[in-house]
Amino acid sequence: MNPRRIAALAHKEFLHILRDPRSLGMAVAIPMLMLVLFGFALSVDVDEVPMVVWDQSHSHASREFVSRFEGSPYFHLVGFVERPEELAHALDTRQAVIALVLPTDFAERVETGRRVPVQVIADGSDSNTATIALGYAEAIARIYGQDTALAELHRQGARLQAVPVEMRPQVWFNPDLESRNCIVPGLIAVIMMVIAALLTSLTVAREWERGTMEQLLASPVRGRELIAGKMIPYFAIAMFDVLLAVLMGQFVFRVPLRGNVALVFGMGAVFLAGALAMGMLISIVAKSQLLASQIAMLTTFLPAFLLSGFLVPIKNMPWLIQMATYVVPARYLVTLLRGIYLKGVGLEVLVLEAILLAVFGVVMVLVANAKFRKKMV
């Protein structure tokens, strides 16, 4: 390979990018826009769940019970209803996701120490929110029941013994359980995969559509030199995107970066080499910018978004889909970035993912070079 020819091709591609604002916008603006939109809009945190209450007891005990929900950060009391029709209307119109129904004899049962049936109705059209909200409601009711029972024993003068087992939960790596801390590192991996493949998927196809490929084929430039020369500018731009993404994660989203920053960029570079070569391969095969962009989107965005473990844990997927995730390179980068960002671990723990990323990059580069033939087809 001749470094001078590669440098000349890279310079030519840089000039083309600078002269084409659309390409430059795709290379820089779109990744940042995707990071902002997904970073702020995408959240799995469940709090401030709207709730209505049908209090048929209208007693001090029932008001105290409802106050437990009002004082919780997980629920937002939007109002009281007096009839079943009003309760159904609140759930139908999404004014409320949870409805709490207290029986008429709530206070009497509490005062006499009998079990109180309290109904909680959840809107199951959003199963994730409903499941988590029901868990929160059950926990609040359980704590209220324990406090009431202890207060009654204390009132009767009984000696209160310590609970034999006391659980003290402690969360590592993400103590505040902020979903953004988990989403943003994975989102960086997904955006890198999509943008890198989209950028290079148009390069060779554009040469064929504009009729300039014949000139390149007639020149002394070899196939692998052409591929390298076209990849270098986009590799530099993609690494700049990684820098911007890391800075936004640190200063905009406040995601802690506990690991080695150099390792983030190193793994990003290995991944980008494979992703750019994959886009180049698509461009070589398609020979049409429209077809190449469609193939790139189909083979990068959907797998990276759905099968990388970014949104849905891979262990929760059917076993056949789990097997398919092993061929999705974004899976390994998501694991790497989350480990580096949240756990602060290095290659001593993530060596397998790093090796598989390197294998992906080498394979994509070799296949792209083998597929390109310096002849008219």
pLDDT of residue 237: 87
- DSSP H stretches of helix in 47-96: 60-70, 84-92
Residue 275: strand pairing partners? none
Q: What is the pLDDT of residues 120-135, one digit of tens each?
A: 999 988 888 888 899 9
Cβ(192)–Cβ(238) below 8 Å: yes
Q: Residue 273 has which token pair?
A: 């080499």
pLDDT, tens digit, 9 for 90 and up, residues 304-358: 888 998 888 898 889 999 999 999 999 999 999 999 999 999 899 999 999 999 9
Query: pLDDT (tens digit, 9 = 90+) per residue, 34-71?
Result: 888 888 877 777 888 999 999 999 999 899 999 999 98
Q: Is the pTM of this model over 0.85?
A: no
Task: Provide the 8-state DSSP code for 309.
Answer: S
Q: Which pLDDT belongs to residue 15?
A: 80
Note whether 312 and 235 are within 8 A (CB): no
Which residue bears the tokens 């911007």? 244
Fold that domain 49-155 belongs to in CATH: abc type-2 transporter like fold (3.40.1710)
The first and second tokens of residue 144, run together, are: 């209220």
Q: How many Å apart are CA 269 and CA 309, to the nearest integer?
A: 21
Tokens of 256: 């802690």
203-210 vs 261-286: helix axis angle to the nearest 10?
30
Residue 224: name the closest of 370, 376, 336 by CA.
370
Cα–Cα distance measured from residue 153 to residue 113, given in angstroms and rounded to the nearest whole number: 10
Q: What is the domain partition of the chain in residue ranges?
A: 3-43+178-371, 49-155
Q: What are the residue ranges in the chain where pLDDT is below 50? A: 375-377
